[in-house]
Amino acid sequence: MKKETTIRAEDTGPGRELTSEFISSINLALDQNKTNDAIGLVQSLHYADLADLLENLAHVRREELVEALRSDFDPNVLAELDETIRERVIDQLGISQIAEAVAGLETDDALEVVEELAADEQIEILESLPENERTLIEEGLSYPEDSAGRLMQREVVAVPQDWTVGQAIDYMRDTNDLPTDFFDIFLVDLSHSPVGTVPLSRVMRTNREVALIDVMRKHIKIVPVEMDQEEVAFLFRQRDLISAPVVDNNTRLVGVITVDDIVDVIHEEHEEDIMRLAGVGEEDDLYSAVIDTAKSRFIWLLIHLIAAILAAYVISFFASTMEEMIALAILMPIVAAMGGTASVQTLTVAVRAIAMKELTMSNAYRAIGKEVAVGILNGIIFATIIGTVAWIWFGSPALGGVIGLAIGLNLIVAGFVGSSLPIVLQRLGFDPAVSSSAFLTSITDIVGFYVFLGLAAALLL
């Protein structure tokens, strides 16, 4: 949630859309050194759109624009920026201006900016903050990365459990440092543990004299401060939550997580899954430097290289077979392609199901059985298609039979290994999205080549 010092109308800007034409006109203004025109153009942008614009500009243009905006740079833009770009903007603005900006953010956004900084910069910024704000951010930094503690906002609305609706309304009208926007009131007991939540819409609809405890949701989901953000996101999605109380190890209420931050977490976690499946780093995006991107992809390419060399080694056993029948060498890539495609399909479904908590140990056998059945079905169909193609192409029904058999078997292996491997890896504590794919391709390649060339050596020569 964003911090605003006073409530007033017209606080979100006219919401101009970021069209290509708009970006072009900004670029043009900067090109022609018409700084004031550029400032004029972006002045009415919502901070989220301004962040998008900065991400979209080339390095030099972005630096020019940030420089132009320097004196009235909206701190909320910082929290919205992509990490790589944020770092550059922070460097450019300089630590003293960042300190000022951080002071203008709510704790969750401030923490997001501060946690990305180098240790010495963190100290410098923290020292320049008012004491109570500094304490809150230091506490936030003490929680594990990606935990509820890093995500929560410290400003909460908590009232004693024996209050009435009327008392709560009067308290809210009279208190100045409430969060700008909030959705639930938390009822706490004498030890400041949350005992229930009252959605604001219920407070609204209930008469002043009614006790809050009579309209509260009692069996609420309470988030421990150390809970992983992925778990928190699961809770929110499962229960359609808008906000949830966060408690420390003594079950004292210490903060609140709101759904807008969860939307970002869900995004991040999905991003991680899809990126890991493809073997690219999570921070591999348009904005990261060429060298960082190349590095982040190197390991994955290397692992696949090793797997491919292993497969080539298997093939080398059959060098003389291939010399006698070069059609085998020609058809080999088809064996690899089909096994690879089928395993990526199975793997993706399994990895997603694990991430969604749909695939667990209690239904693992059923899931694996299903994938094997799918492998058998498509295996028979593709064995027939490819067998026929090879027969016609090379005029050898036996060759057709051999490649058909190899590919049919390969699809079944892909179904079995593609579904069981991620389950086993997950069980062993590895991330199935990261570790499965190279493994799997190498298994289907080796099985495929071995069956194909081995059968050919035994039956065709």
Instruction: Please state the closest distance from residue 305 (CB atom) to its own copies, in A.
Output: 6
- Restricting to residues 97-156, name those near its own copies by CB under 8 A: none
Instruction: Please state the closest distance from residue 239 (CB atom) to its own copies, in A.
Output: 6
Residue of 354, 148, 348 whose CA lies nearest to 233: 148
Q: Decide: is 60 part of the binding site for its own copies (CB under 8 A).
A: no
Instruction: Please state the closest distance from residue 378 (CB atom) to its own copies, in A.
Output: 5
- Restricting to residues 237-296, name those near its own copies by CB under 8 A: 237-242, 259-260, 262-264, 266-267, 270-271, 273-275, 277-280, 284-286, 290-291, 293-294
C-alpha to C-alpha distance for 306 and 239, rounded to whole angstroms: 45
- Restricting to residues 308-327, name those near its own copies by CB under 8 A: 308-309, 311-312, 315-316, 319-320, 322-323, 326
**Nearest CB to its own copies, comparing residues 138 and 228:** 228
Question: Cα dist. 147→16, 126, 233 in Å?
Answer: 35, 21, 11
Figure out which of the listed residues 118, 119, 190, 361 binds its own copies, where binding follows CB under 8 A. Answer: 361
Angle between helices 95-103 and 83-93 (to 10 degrees): 110
Angle between helices 397-427 and 364-394 (to 10 degrees): 160
Instruction: Please state the closest distance from residue 327 (CB atom) to its own copies, in A.
Output: 8
405 φ, ψ to 5°? -60, -45
Contact range with its own copies by CB under 8 A, out of 117-125, 135-143, 200-208, 244-252:
200-208
- Restricting to residues 407-446, name those near its own copies by CB under 8 A: 411, 441, 445
Contact range with its own copies by CB under 8 A, out of 86-94, 129-137, 144-152, 376-384:
376-384
DSSP annotation of 72: G
- Restricting to residues 324-343, name those near its own copies by CB under 8 A: 326, 328-334, 336-338, 340-342
Tokens 């906002």 sit on residue: 153
Instruction: Please state the closest distance from residue 127 (CB atom) to its own copies, in A.
Output: 30
Q: For residue 166, which amino acid is it?
A: G
293 φ, ψ to 5°? -65, -45
Task: Determine the length of the chain.
Answer: 461
Residue of 135, 145, 137 whose CA lies nearest to 98: 137
Contact range with its own copies by CB under 8 A, out of 91-99, 131-139, 235-243, 420-428:
235-243
Q: Decide: is 353 part of the binding site for its own copies (CB under 8 A).
A: yes
Q: What is the DSSP string of 152-197?
A: -BS---EEETT-BHHHHHHHHHH-SSS-SS--EEEEE-TT--EEEE
Quick note: the x/- pattern for its own copies over 65-84, rule CB under 8 A, is -----------------x--
Figure out which of the listed residues 123, 360, 397, 458 binds its own copies, where binding follows CB under 8 A. Answer: 360
Q: Decide: is 12 part of the binding site for its own copies (CB under 8 A).
A: yes
Contact range with its own copies by CB under 8 A, out of 89-97, 116-124, 129-137, 165-173:
165-173
Figure out which of the listed residues 216, 244, 383, 412 binds its own copies, where binding follows CB under 8 A. Answer: 216
C-alpha to C-alpha distance for 380 and 418, rounded to whole angstroms: 18
Q: Decide: is 458 part of the binding site for its own copies (CB under 8 A).
A: no
What b/e readout covers 149-176, taking b as 16+ CB neighbours within 10 angstroms? bbbbbbbbbebbbebbbebbbeeeeeee
**Nearest CB to its own copies, comparing residues 149 and 196:** 196
Residue 307 tokens read as 């797997």
